[in-house]
């Protein structure tokens, strides 16, 4: 096992530093990929896992202006190492979040809902009544996409893998605001035409899987539509028929939240606008935390194992 629980000294608090106590931190697929060494971000070892979570400020250095003890904070960038009880960080690595939002919403905010928000905003200018299609619709990003789209009047066609408890999953996604939930097999069926009697073909496809799932999704995209790839869970390349390029002029793009944050490090207005929009949705009950299983830190091994099981519909959240 690559993992062990270790006691470390808390470093001295510098003038621009913030000492925080972690409250909750999720285990995301990217965290697992980092540990396996298959992710483009690699921390020098020994490293602390976890790229997301929420903490409470205990103490601030004398030059710190934007934060004070009692504030809640989340990472402003990847690679913070959130699976720990306490940490000392430079102020610019943290974003303040309102402490009146649910702790699990705050803990799962900086990766998935931000990714969903950006992909719905940055690639196609969608208007109420437009539709999008996405695979891995039950993932953390998928659940956020459904809710953010719903709040903006955008229809969602949500693709999931067939599974034993499919009706339960469909019901859960519909309750979040999904308009249609289909299996990968159904993408090939003539019944798909029925969906497009009531809603337009999607202008945007969000792909987190790759392989056959992606090719099937692309067939339903409008001419000149965009497919954004942000993950590759099938570990298979994206296959595109030549005809999709020539006769339908589809666009293929990619998205990585870590890169977006790097590109906008000096652009605090864009970051603040996104966060405010997400806080509004959370406060209005339109954006909830994904289905979560809360696990005390000492049971981290069980949590890591559970997060790697197939068809997992609940995110493991470490509590400190």
Q: What is the pLDDT of residues 188-229, one digit of tens each?
A: 999 899 999 999 999 999 999 999 989 999 999 999 999 999
Distances (CA, A) of 238 to 43, 208, 228, 247, 248: 28, 10, 11, 19, 17
pLDDT value at position 32?
86
Q: Where are the beta strands (DSSP E) in 108-267?
A: 131-134, 155-160, 180-183, 204-207, 226-229, 251-254
248 CB-near residues (< 8 Å, 6+ apart) = 221, 222, 223, 224, 225
What value does the mean pLDDT take over residues 132-146? 96
257, 275, 305 - which closes a domain: 257
**Is residue 21 within 8 Å of 56, Cβ to Cβ?**
yes
Residues 120, 100, single domain; the answer is: no
**Is residue 82 within 8 Å of 52, Cβ to Cβ?**
yes
For residue 2, is it within any domain?
A: no
**Is residue 66 within 8 Å of 95, Cβ to Cβ?**
no
For the segment 222-262, what is each residue's pLDDT rounded down to a tens digit?
999 999 999 988 889 999 999 999 999 999 999 999 999 99
Residue 180 — φ and ψ, nearest 5°?
A: -140, 140
The H or E element containing residue 104 is: helix 103-107
17 CB-contact burial (10 Å; exposed 0-12 / middle 13-18 / buried 19+): buried
Longest dimension (CA), the chain: 65
Q: Read off the tokens for 273.
A: 């606008």
For residue 6, is it within any domain?
A: no
pLDDT band at residue 1 under the 50/70/90 scheme: low
For residue 10, is it within any domain?
A: no
Residues 104, 120, single domain; the answer is: no
Q: Read off the tokens for 156.
A: 């969602």
- What's the sign of the alpha-carbon dihedral 112, 113, 118, 120? positive
Q: What percent of the chain has pLDDT over 70?
A: 100
Could you give the residue numbers annotated as active site? 39
- What's the sign of the alpha-carbon dihedral 46, 50, 51, 52? negative
Residue 46 — φ and ψ, nearest 5°?
A: -70, 145
Nearest to 275 by CA among 31, 101, 130, 103: 101
Q: How, if at all, do strands 315-319 and 292-296 pair? A: parallel
Whether 39 has a pLDDT exceeding 80, the answer reads no
Residues 143, 32, single domain; the answer is: no
Residues 119, 247, single domain; the answer is: yes
For residue 274, is it within any domain?
A: no
Domain total in the chain = 2
pLDDT band at residue 153 under the 50/70/90 scheme: very high
Whichever domain contains 233, its CATH number is: 3.40.50.720
**pLDDT mean across residues, the chain:** 93
Residues 153, 215, single domain; the answer is: yes
pLDDT value at position 228?
98
For residue 280, is it within any domain?
A: no
Residue 186 — φ and ψ, nearest 5°?
A: -65, -20
- pTM: predicted TM-score of the whole model, two decimal places: 0.93
Residues 130, 221, single domain; the answer is: yes
For residue 304, is it within any domain?
A: yes
For residue 266, is it within any domain?
A: no
Residues 176, 301, single domain; the answer is: no
Please tell me the distance from the alpha carbon of residue 276 to that of residue 282, in angstroms, as a whole number: 10
For residue 281, is it within any domain?
A: no
Identify the domain containing residue 100 by its residue range: 17-108+289-319
Q: What percent of the chain has pLDDT over 90?
A: 82
Residues 164, 252, single domain; the answer is: yes
What value does the mean pLDDT take over residues 267-288? 96
pLDDT value at position 18?
97
pLDDT value at position 261?
94
- What's the sign of the alpha-carbon dihedral 257, 160, 103, 303? negative
Whether 140 has a pLDDT exceeding 70, the answer reads yes
214 CB-near residues (< 8 Å, 6+ apart) = 135, 207, 227, 229, 238, 239
For the segment 95-105, what is each residue's pLDDT rounded down to a tens digit?
999 999 999 99
Q: Where are the beta strands (DSSP E) in the chain?
A: 17-26, 54-60, 72-75, 86-90, 94-97, 131-134, 155-160, 180-183, 204-207, 226-229, 251-254, 292-296, 315-319
Residues 64, 149, single domain; the answer is: no
For the segment 170-179, what is each residue's pLDDT rounded down to a tens digit?
999 999 999 9
Residues 136, 230, single domain; the answer is: yes
Nearest to 213 by CA among 193, 231, 225: 231
Residues 223, 313, single domain; the answer is: no
Residues 229, 137, single domain; the answer is: yes
Whether 313 has a pLDDT exceeding 80, the answer reads no
Whichever domain contains 40, its CATH number is: 3.90.180.10
């Amino acid at each position: 096992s690559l993992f062990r629980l270790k006691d470390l000294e808390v470093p001295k608090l510098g003038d621009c530093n913030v000492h925080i106590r972690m409250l909750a931190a999720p285990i995301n697929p990217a965290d697992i990929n980092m540990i396996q060494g298959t992710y483009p971000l690699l921390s020098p070892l020994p490293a602390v896992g976890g790229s997301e979570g929420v903490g409470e400020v205990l103490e601030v250095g004398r030059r710190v202006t934007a934060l004070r003890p009692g504030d809640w904070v989340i990472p402003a960038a990847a690679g913070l190492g959130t699976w720990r009880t306490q940490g000392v960080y430079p102020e610019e690595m943290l974003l303040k979040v309102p402490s009146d939002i649910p702790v699990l919403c705050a803990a799962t905010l900086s990766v998935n809902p931000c990714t969903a928000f950006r992909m719905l905003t940055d690639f196609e200018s969608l208007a109420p009544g437009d539709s999008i299609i996405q695979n891995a619709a039950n993932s953390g990003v998928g659940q956020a996409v459904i809710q953010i789209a719903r709040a903006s009047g955008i229809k969602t066609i949500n693709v999931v893998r067939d599974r034993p408890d499919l009706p339960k999953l469909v019901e859960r996604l519909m309750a979040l605001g999904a308009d249609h939930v289909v299996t990968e097999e159904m993408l090939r069926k003539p019944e798909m035409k029925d969906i497009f009697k009531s809603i337009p073909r999607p202008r945007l496809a969000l792909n987190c899987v790759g392989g056959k799932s992606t090719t099937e999704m692309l067939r339903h995209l409008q001419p000149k539509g965009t497919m954004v790839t942000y993950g590759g869970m099938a570990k298979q390349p994206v296959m595109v028929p030549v005809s999709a390029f020539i006769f339908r002029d589809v666009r293929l793009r990619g998205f990585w939240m870590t890169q977006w944050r790097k590109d906008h490090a000096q652009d605090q207005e864009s970051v603040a606008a996104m966060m405010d929009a997400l806080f509004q949705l959370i406060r209005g009950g339109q954006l909830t935390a994904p289905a979560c299983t809360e696990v005390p830190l000492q049971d981290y091994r069980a949590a890591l194992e559970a997060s790697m099981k197939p068809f997992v519909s609940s995110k493991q959240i470490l509590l400190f």
